[in-house]
Amino acid sequence: MQSIRRAAQLVAFVSLVLVLSVGSAFAQSRLIIASGTDAVTLDAHRITDSPSATVSEHITEPLFELTPDGQIVPHLVESYEVSDDGLVWTLHLRQGIRFHDGTPFNAAAVKYNLDRILDPANAVTFRFLIDPVISVEVVDDYTVRLTTGAPFAPILAHLTHSSIGMLSPAALERYGEDIARNPVGTGPFRFKEWVRNDRIVLERNPDYWGEPPQVDEIVFRVVPEDGARMLMVQTGEAHVAVRVPPDMVSVLERDPNVNVVFTPSVRTIYIGFNTYQRADRPKNPFTDVRVRQAFNYAVDNAAINEFILGGMGRPSDAPIAPGIFGYAAIGGYEYNPEKARQLLAEAGYPNGFRVQFYSPSGRYLKDLEVAEAVQAQLAEVGIQADIVTLEWATYLDATNRPAHENEVPMFLLGWGTVTGDADYGLYPLFHSSQWVPTGSNRAFYSNPRVDELLDRARTTPDDAVRRAAYEEAMRIIMEDAPWLFLHAETQITAIRSNVEGVIVHPTERIIASGARIR
Amino acid sequence: MSQYILRRLALVLPVLVGVSIVVFSMVRLIPGDPARVMAGEAASEEVVEMIRQQLGLNEHPVVQYWIFLKNLFRGDLGRSTLSRLPVLDEITAALPGTLQLAVASMVIATALGVTTGLLSAVRPNSWVDALSMFIALVGVSMPVFWLGLMLMLLFSLHLGWFPTAGHGTWRHLVLPSITLGLSSAAIIARMTRSSMLEVLRQDYVRTARAKGVPERGVVLRHAFRNALIPVVTVMGLQFGNLLGGAVLTETVFAWPGIGRLMVGAITARDYPVVQGAVLTVAVGFILINLLVDVLYAYIDPTIRYD
C-alpha cells in the first residue's frame, strides 16, 4: 500500500516537473526595462518628458520617423509631395492599418489628431511644432493635405516628434482625459496595465502592420534609486537599466552579463546669461559681449568633461549637437584664462565682479558638480559666482519671468533638440520673438541678423540654403556668446548581454520594438 | 467606551478641515507654477495661461478652497494637474503598498524591539544590555538608503534570496520592511528597556518576588504589562510615521506608496494630489491615535473613558 502511495507521489512529482519545464519553454518572453522615473501621461499629444515618450512610442506612432542616424523617413505615411510654393503638403497614408481598438487608420483619423493638437483650447505644449499649419483636409480615405500659411521647412522633422503621435479617434472620444491611461495607437505594442510609480506593461500587438515584435511583453519598471536600478540589471531582474551614473560604469563593465552602451544625446547643456538691461537696476555686465566671451574663455570644458562627467560629455562646438540637421562644427572657445582676464579688463571689470549663478540639482547629469567646477574656474579670473540651487518647479518659474522682472543673471539649463532639426534647437532659444515667457529664449538674446537667418532657414525648402543659414546663424551666436557653451550629454545605458535589438535613440528614448532575448 | 469612540470620530471632521486649510495654503505659498511644470520647459506662455485657466488657478484662493471643500464632501478629490487622472485613483493605487510596508515593518520592529528591550531590562548593565543597546543605537543612526543598498548587495546580488526592488510578491516585501523596521525597532527597544527598568523598581514587583513568583512570571505578567503603555504610545507614533514618511525606503526599493506619491506631487506642484495624499495620511494618523487610546484601556483597566 505504502509503495503504491510512494509511486503515485513520484509520478505526481515527475509530471509536475514536466509541466513546469514544458511550461517554461513556452513561457512568455518579457523584456523588463528599469527606468528612473515613471511616465507622467500616455496621452501622446500631452507628453513633454522622455520617460513618457519612451513608453508611448511603442503604442502610438508618428507619421514620419526620425531614425537613430538622423534620417527622416515616412512611417505611417507611405509617400508625400510638396507643392512648388512649399505651402501644401500632400501625405499618402499606408493602407490597411488599424488602431488597437479596431478603428481604421485613415485620413479622417489623421485630421482628428492634428486638429486636436492645433486647437488652442486644448493647450497642447508642442502645438507650436505644427502651428504654421492652417488647414488639414481629407482628400480621400488615405490622402491628407496640410496647408501652411507660410513655407515651413522643418514640418517633416516636426511630424516625427512623439507628441504628434496618432491616437485612435474612437478612443479619444470614449476616454476623454482618461486617454492618459488608456492609450490606443497603431504601434507594435498595446497598452496593458499601469500601476503608478511601479510599472507599465505593454503586450505585443499580434496584428502589427510592420516588422512583428519579438517579445510578448515589455515591462517598464520605475526604479528611482540609481544603485538599485544597476543591481537589477546585474541580477537579471531587469534587461535594461537607463541613466547609468558615470561612476558606476566601471562596476558594470566588469560584469560579463551586462553591456554598457554609450549613445550621444541631442541634449545640449549650457549656462545662459541674462543679457537684458533692466531700467530699474544698475548696469548688467552681461550686456557686454566681452564679458560673455570672457566667461567662455575662463571655463575649461575639456577638464569638466574628463573629471566630472567621466568623459561622458562632448564639449560643445556649436549651440546644437551633432546628429541634428543643420549642425556644423563651428568651434568652441579654448580654455584661456589670460584672455578672459584681459577681456574683463577691457570691459571695465579688471577685478572681476560678483554674480548669482543659478543651477538645478539632479536634473541633468552631475549638474550641480558641473556648476561648482565652473564656479571654481570663474574664481580664477576674479569672478565670484554664488551658486543658487532651487528645486525644479521654482527654478523653471524663476528663469521664465519676463525680461523686466527677471532676477536670474546666469543659469544652467539643458535643451534637447528632439525633432532632429536645427529649427527646434535654435529658433525657440535665440530668435528675438521667443523671449520667455513666449518662447524659450531665457538669455533675452536679440540679433537682427540671426533672426533673419533663422526665419530664412525655416521658410526655405532647399536643404543647402537651410544648412548655410544655420551655419552662419550659429557662427554669430557663438561669437555673441549669449551662453556659456558647455557640452552635449551622453546617454549611458546598461543592457543584459543576452538581449539584442534594443535601440537607445539620440532623442533620449529607448526603443525595444525589435528587441530579442536569447 | 463606544460612546467615547464615537465622540473621537466626530472630532475627525474639524481636524481634517484644519489640516486641509494648512495644506491648501502651504502648497500655494511655495513658489512654482503647476501649469508651467505640467506644460514643460518648452511651452509658450499662451499654452501655460490656457492650462492655468482650465485648472482654475486664476480664481481667488478662497474660491479655490471653497470648490475643493465642496468636491471633497462629494468624495471627489479632483484630478492630478500633472497626469490629469483622478486623485482618488492615484491614492487608492498607492495605499495598499503603503499599508503592506507599514504593517510588515511594524511587525518586525515590534518583535525585534520588544524582545531586545526586555532582555536588556532584565539584565541591566550586563553585556547583553550593552550589546543590544549598541545595536539599537546603530539601528537608529543608519540611513535607510545606505542600509537598503547594503541589504540589496548582500541578499539580492550575492545570495540571490530576494528581489532587488519592486513590488509584487511577498519576497519583494522582505528587504524594504527590514530596512524600514530596523530604525523603529531601535526606538521601541530603548523605550521598552527604560519603561521596564522603571516598573521593575516598583514595590509591587518586590512584593511579587517576595511571594515567590518565579522570575519569568514577575517579568512577563507583573512587570511587562505595566510597562506597555509608553511602548504602545511609541509604536502608535512610529506606525503613523511609516504611513507618510517611508519615502526614502519607498524610493530605494522602488516601492509604490503614498510617500513617493506625495513627494513627486510636491515637486510637480500637483496641488490636488498633495492635498489628497496629506488628508489620507492625516486620517491614518487620527485613526491610529484613536486605536492607541483604546488599547490603553485594554492594557490598564484603571484607565476609563466614560
Q: What angle do CA A183, A187, A192 make, to 5 degrees?
A: 45
Cα separation, B270 vs A108, whole angstroms: 35
Q: Are A434 and B45 in contact (CB under 8 A)?
A: no
Cis before residue A437, ω within 30 degrees of 0? yes
| pLDDT value of residue A5 | 53
In B, which residues are within 8 Å of A225 by CB distance?
145, 148-149, 165, 251-254
CB of B96 within 8 Å of any CB in chain A?
no
Cα separation, A272 vs A414, whole angstroms: 10
Q: Based on the number of CB atoms within 10 Å of its own CB, is A149 exposed (0-12), middle (13-18) or buried (19 or more)?
A: exposed
Mean of pLDDT values over A204-223: 94
Q: Are A274 and A406 in contact (CB under 8 A)?
A: yes
Instruction: Name the pLDDT band for B267 (thresholds 50, 70, 90).
Output: confident
| pLDDT value of residue A380 | 94
Q: Which of A315, A334, A319, A289 is nearest to A453 (CA)?
A: A319
Q: Which helix (H) or strand (E) holds A385?
A: strand A384-389
B270: nearest CA partner in chain A: A393
Q: Which of residues 46-75 of B touch A (CB under 8 A)?
A: 46-48, 50-51, 54
pLDDT higher than threshold 60 for residue B236: yes
Whether residue A225 and residue B45 make contact (CB cut-off 8 A), yes or no, is no
Sorted by where each starts, the structural domains of chain A and their CATH numbers stand as: 60-174 (3.90.76.10), 264-490 (3.10.105.10)
Domain locations in chain B as residue ranges: 90-299
| pLDDT value of residue A6 | 54
pLDDT higher than threshold 60 for residue A8: no
CATH 1.10.3720.10 matches B90-299:
yes
- How far from each other are the two terminal CA atoms of chain A, in whole angstroms? 47
Mean of pLDDT values over A284-312: 94
Q: Which of residues 208-247 of B touch A (CB under 8 A)?
A: none
B32: nearest CA partner in chain A: A394
| pLDDT value of residue B41 | 74
* DSSP strands (E only) in A299-430: 313-315, 354-359, 384-389, 410-416
pLDDT digits (tens, 9 = 90+) for A38-71: 888 899 998 888 889 999 999 999 999 998 888 8
Whether residue A235 and residue B46 make contact (CB cut-off 8 A), yes or no, is no
A397: nearest CA partner in chain B: B32
Cα separation, A196 vs A138, whole angstroms: 38
In A, which residues are within 8 Å of B79 by CB distance?
177
| A114: phi then psi, degrees, rounded to nearest 5 | -65, -40
Cell of A98: 488599424
Mean of pLDDT values over A199-209: 95
pLDDT digits (tens, 9 = 90+) for B128-138: 888 888 888 88
Dihedral sign computed on CA atoms, order A396, A401, A402, A403? negative
pLDDT digits (tens, 9 = 90+) for A325-356: 999 999 989 999 999 999 999 999 999 999 99
| pLDDT value of residue A9 | 54
Instruction: Name the pLDDT band for A384 (thresholds 50, 70, 90).
Output: very high
Whether residue A228 and residue B97 make contact (CB cut-off 8 A), yes or no, is no
Cα separation, A154 vs A148, whole angstroms: 12
pLDDT over 70, % of chain B: 99
B86: nearest CA partner in chain A: A178
pLDDT higher than threshold 90 for residue A94: yes
